[in-house]
Structure 1
Amino acid sequence: MKKIVSILLLLMVVLTTSSLAQRQKSFGLAYRNGWLLKHHEELRTAFVDAHPVGFEFTYLSKTTGDDEWERVWNYPDIGISLAYLNYGDSRLGQALVTSFFIQKYIGNPDNRLRFSFKIAPGVSFSDEKYDPETNPENTFISTTINGVMEGNFLAHYQLTPHMAVNGGIVFTHYSNGAVQVPNSGFNIPSLTVGMLYTPNPDQYKRNTDPVGAFQRRTRFSVQFAPSVKAYNEEDPKKYFAFTASVNAIRYLNHKVALNGSADVFYNSSIPDRTGDPGANRFRLGLALGPELTTGPNSVVFQLGYYVYRPEEVDKSFYWRIGIKHHFTDHFFTGFALKAHLGKADVIEWGVGYRL
């Protein structure tokens, strides 16, 4: 799993930086000061004084509007970031986080005072993790490599053509998707202040061609997503799981689609979890939610319900948040975090075909 994540991360960085190489570059540095949300008993007792702080380096580029989706989304920034975070407690340790992002501006992106929000999936590397003997209280991180989903809301002020300052709030979620347990994960809101330097602002030129007329349509896709899952910290065994989905996607406008899916879930851990070797390993679910499209990429949010759940080992509702990348008009790949309320179930690593 670590090798797979590393390879995917490397491909992600290469694809992103190759697209950035053709556009105006900017470099940012920011300071973060945050706190741990007390979503678990240990955070309210053993780690009450933990106080995460860190720094973030950002490499980004302004989109030019040469691709229509860039004009639709008001010329967003795309980029990659590298952040260092100290959790404020030696048992929790430190983390290095790398992510790629799209930063969307609200209103005119050329205003001296402007506002933006960002969505950024990525990967974190932690130097401390759960150990039943040496670090039993850290039930939040049990693997060195963890998935990250991050978002922010920032205010920017342009001091000079080369220099801008920014500040706002960042929300970060860390989890390994139950690849190994315990896996309570971290939820960290942070306040941030930073600056952005643009070496060559005069070289930027924007395509202002009008966006083409939108025609509503519905497309269908099929997807297969294998997973690896752990059950509890006393059981080192890894269980195989998969999701097979049929999706109907109704495109409502240039930005938003409605994604409905019929999901078939297989989970080989169910017999051990129920103590019944003959327990049914399959479940069926229906899910619905918005899909935000940005060119070949999209972000999917869904809420689902198990319509067939013979073994009641999980909650009846589930949700997922995921990223998809379309290599062609038909073939795509991506990953999604599937969870029951605040508890991660699996990370779905999917490949699919769109009709």
Structure 2
Amino acid sequence: MPANIRFRILVLFLFFSFDLAKASNESDTVANHNPKFQKHLSLLFETGPMIPKNTDWGEFINNGLNYKALDLRLGFRNTKSNLYNRIYRYPTYGFGLYTATFKNDYIGKPNAVYAFADLPFTKTFLNGKLRYSYFAAFGLAFNFKPYDPDSNPINLFIGSYRNGYVHVGFSMRYAITPWMDLDAAFGLKHFSNGSIKKPNSGLNFIPFSIGLKSTLNRASFENADLSDIPQYISNNHVNLWTSVGAKNYEIGGDIYLKWGFSANYLRQTGYKLRYGLGLDMFYANNGILPGDWVKNGFMDKTSFAVVASGEWVLKKNFSIPLGIGVYIHRNEFNDEPSFYYERIGIRYRFSNQMFTGITLKAHGFKADIFEWTVGYSIFKDKNKY
């Protein structure tokens, strides 16, 4: 991206932020009340190295790659003094737009739309001017130049035009003025289609970002002191769910459904975390068939695993499911190359019983499948939120 274009975007961002902040502050003064949300607008310039695959084509692409990106975020920080806002020190949730160039003929110039959460640390420095937080973003990226056996045989990272977007990391912010912060971050960024279309080894970066964050309106937040929060009443969860996802086993091959059936037992002793053990069963009617081998029996189509399971609870009805599974019966021909796997995603509860969500199951940094889930929980919650 040319330097003059980046400069123009930065100037427009500063003027736009200043006008919005001025209008919002004047409105707040007239209204004389605390707004429901404090709004933030951020613009970040990003660069950083790719984590190369240990292959000749991975090194070839990495050696000719020059990654640069712009990230625009609109965040909303809820001012309501409810339990989870106070526990997480009034986090910011919002949406972002991302555009990147690799200056590379094989990968493309991807864009992305995503949702993010930014959670501040308790401790601040320099009289509150220096603050730290951690963040996670999930979304959809598009405009990749995917693998093609004729026109783009080099790109064995990405086989599809659209891919999942994941970005996690840490931020540091320094207040330049009451309405403008210098914003810097580092973390891990991942692009993958969840093996819906091969090849799909995925793209991974260690991005470093720097930019400006503008506070668009005044707001006040009650003290996040937790001394008056009731002690959590421990409870036990039994969760049952089914999942389904699309799976492509071979380049140019057909796409099949892969099913999952899962159960876990989780113990929750605090407001933030549930942890325990579970069982997974995966059913794949089709797979990579070597020679004349066919899947005649049930065990030829099925895998079983024991899973160390958890849920990171961000709100009463919203959590991040986590898991590390170890196969007790595995089929390599179902594209399960290692004896273990990882899982991370998002989960929303319609009630204490019903939930839905999406998770990414992967072996190392290689995605296996995006799991669309629906499930049922058995537990009694005596806590008040």
TM > 0.5 fold call: yes
Counting aligned pairs with the same residue, the percent is 25
Does the C-alpha gap of structure 1 residues 137 and 323 become closer, same or farther in structure 2, counting only changes over 3 Å? same
One-letter amino acid matched to 1:334: G
Alignment partner for residue 353 of structure 2, among 311, 320, 330? Answer: 330
Deviates further, 267-276 or 289-298: 267-276
Does the C-alpha gap of structure 1 residues 229 and 310 become closer, same or farther in structure 2, counting only changes over 3 Å? closer
Deviates further, 224-233 or 340-349: 340-349
**Contact 1:170/1:192 (8 A) holds in 2:** no
Q: Which residue of 2 aligns with 1:5?
A: none
One-letter amino acid matched to 1:35: P
Q: Computing the radius of gyration over CA atoms, which structure comes out larger, 1 or 2? A: 2
Give the Cα–Cα distance (whole angstroms) in 2 for the partners of residues 273 and 177 of structure 1: 23
Q: Which residue of 1 aligns with 2:108?
A: 93
One-letter amino acid matched to 1:229: K
| Structure 1 residue 79 displacement after superposition | 1.2
Give the Cα–Cα distance (whole angstroms) in 1 for the partners of residues 375 and 50 of structure 2: 37
Give the Cα–Cα distance (whole angstroms) in 2 for the partners of residues 51 and 212 of structure 1: 52
| Structure 1 residue 290 displacement after superposition | 3.2
| Structure 1 residue 287 displacement after superposition | 0.4
Q: Which residue of 2 aligns with 1:230?
A: 248
**Contact 1:56/1:82 (8 A) holds in 2:** yes
Where do 5+ consecutive residues of structure 2 fail to align? 1-34, 379-385
**Contact 2:187/2:208 (8 A) holds in 1:** yes
Q: Which residue of 2 aligns with 1:276?
A: 293
Does the C-alpha gap of structure 1 residues 337 and 310 become closer, same or farther in structure 2, counting only changes over 3 Å? closer
Give the Cα–Cα distance (whole angstroms) in 2 for the partners of residues 56 and 46 of structure 1: 23
**Contact 1:181/1:231 (8 A) holds in 2:** yes
| Structure 1 residue 44 displacement after superposition | 0.9
Alignment partner for residue 37 of structure 1, among 51, 56, 72? Answer: 51
Alignment partner for residue 98 of structure 2, among 83, 99, 120? Answer: 83
Does the C-alpha gap of structure 1 residues 260 and 126 become closer, same or farther in structure 2, counting only changes over 3 Å? farther
Deviates further, 274-283 or 140-149: 274-283
1:142 aligns with 2:159: yes
- What SS is found at the alignment partner of 2:200? coil
**Contact 1:94/1:126 (8 A) holds in 2:** yes
Q: Output one character per residue of 1:247-298: Cα deviation in whole Å (capped at 9) or x when no partner.
A: 2121131111114221111012236357422251111111013321011211
1:253 aligns with 2:275: no
1:23 aligns with 2:37: yes
- What SS is found at the alignment partner of 2:289? helix
Q: Output one character per residue of 1:40-98: Cα deviation in whole Å (capped at 9) or x when no partner.
A: 42221244120210101010022324331111112111111111111220211111112
Does the C-alpha gap of structure 1 residues 311 and 51 become closer, same or farther in structure 2, counting only changes over 3 Å? closer
**Contact 1:259/1:291 (8 A) holds in 2:** no
- What SS is found at the alignment partner of 2:63? coil
Give the Cα–Cα distance (whole angstroms) in 2 for the partners of residues 337 and 286 of structure 1: 17
Q: How do residues 18-167 of structure 1 correspond to structure 2 at under 5 angstroms?
A: 22-41=36-55, 42-108=57-123, 111-167=128-184
- What SS is found at the alignment partner of 1:43? helix
Q: Which residue of 2 aligns with 1:305?
A: 326
Does the C-alpha gap of structure 1 residues 144 and 352 become closer, same or farther in structure 2, counting only changes over 3 Å? same
Q: Which residue of 1 aligns with 2:4?
A: none
- What SS is found at the alignment partner of 1:270? coil
Give the Cα–Cα distance (whole angstroms) in 2 for the partners of residues 294 and 163 of structure 1: 27
Give the Cα–Cα distance (whole angstroms) in 1 for the partners of residues 129 and 39 of structure 2: 18
Give the Cα–Cα distance (whole angstroms) in 2 for the partners of residues 108 and 245 of structure 1: 39
Q: How do residues 284-303 of structure 1 correspond to structure 2 at under 5 angstroms?
A: 284-295=304-315, 296-303=317-324
Does the C-alpha gap of structure 1 residues 33 and 338 become closer, same or farther in structure 2, counting only changes over 3 Å? same
- What SS is found at the alignment partner of 1:24? strand
Q: Output one character per residue of 1:88-113: Cα deviation in whole Å (capped at 9) or x when no partner.
A: 20211111112111111112469210
Give the Cα–Cα distance (whole angstroms) in 2 for the partners of residues 68 and 103 of structure 1: 17
Q: Which residue of 2 aligns with 1:242?
A: 259
Q: Which residue of 1 aligns with 2:222?
A: 206
| Structure 1 residue 147 displacement after superposition | 0.9
**Contact 1:271/1:281 (8 A) holds in 2:** no
Does the C-alpha gap of structure 1 residues 260 and 180 become closer, same or farther in structure 2, counting only changes over 3 Å? same
| Structure 1 residue 311 displacement after superposition | 6.1
One-letter amino acid matched to 2:328: V
Q: Which runs of 4+ in 1 moved over 6 A?
A: none
Does the C-alpha gap of structure 1 residues 274 and 219 become closer, same or farther in structure 2, counting only changes over 3 Å? farther
Q: Taking structure 1 as the reference length, what is the TM-score of the superposition?
A: 0.88
- What SS is found at the alignment partner of 1:272? coil
Give the Cα–Cα distance (whole angstroms) in 2 for the partners of residues 60 and 176 of structure 1: 27
**Contact 2:36/2:80 (8 A) holds in 1:** no
**Count of residue pairs brought into register by the alignment:** 333
**Contact 1:73/1:255 (8 A) holds in 2:** no
How well do the aligned residues superpose, as a CA RMSD in angstroms?
2.0
One-letter amino acid matched to 1:105: P
**Contact 1:252/1:258 (8 A) holds in 2:** no
